Structure 1
Amino acid sequence: MDAIEGIRPGLEGRLERVVEGELLTHHVGGKGTFSTPAMIGLMEITCHRSIERLLPAGHTSVGYEVHVRHLAPAAPGRTVVVTTRVAEVKGNKLKFEVECHEGDTLLGDGIHKRAVVPAMF
């Protein structure tokens, strides 16, 4: 597949969520904290949503690689903001830079890679 028209380096995505419910892990005690799997999941969702409207008909994007650091906690009830930016496009492969903040605090950052493929389901 050639490069997807409209998906270019610099394309950004953004998602805000309140830390609650399934975004919490409780094995740390107390009321819980924002979990690493939840943070990575929000990063993946934000990447996909940022390009979804630009995908060819009958196609979707799937994640195939994640390199993320979880640097700080976020308490229940706090709002986290995930930002993504397309860093590289090679054919059907997309590389995103991802970050998650709570206020001015960087909670996590890294790289997420996705591939544009025919939708099967």
Structure 2
Amino acid sequence: MSERHAAPALVVGLGCQRGCPVDTLRALLDQVLEAHGFGLDQVRGLASIDLKREEPGLLQLAEQLALPLTCFSSSQLTPYALQLSHRSEIAYERTGCYGVAESAALALAERLAQSPAKLLIRRQKYAQATLAMACCG
């Protein structure tokens, strides 16, 4: 019988193509949580870039999970470029930052923890979306 250690509080950074359905985002989240042995109850918030502030799939996911969605500007995400596992020129051309999911997860984790954050799960790609997780306490 395995016991869970003190469960870390997590934040989820998400990037997605325009029109990405909520089902795709939820499937990616569930898949990553299960693969790493985390529970949905450990997730404290969702984060993305401000360009996605009105993205229906992200808003629906936040509503479905009853979690806040925090959106950051590209200038707020840029400082995390050196911590990214993957730096995408395409993402930079489209958004002004090299990686939305990882940068957003780090930015929200730092805001919540009031200290430097570390990626727990690097960028995972699935269909039309990317996801990364950081620990915030």
So what's the TM-score if we normalise by structure 2?
Answer: 0.30
Query: Which of the pair is proportionally richer in helix?
Result: 2
Query: Which of the pair is proportionally richer in strand?
Result: 1
Higher CA-based Rg: 1
So what's the TM-score if we normalise by structure 1?
Answer: 0.33
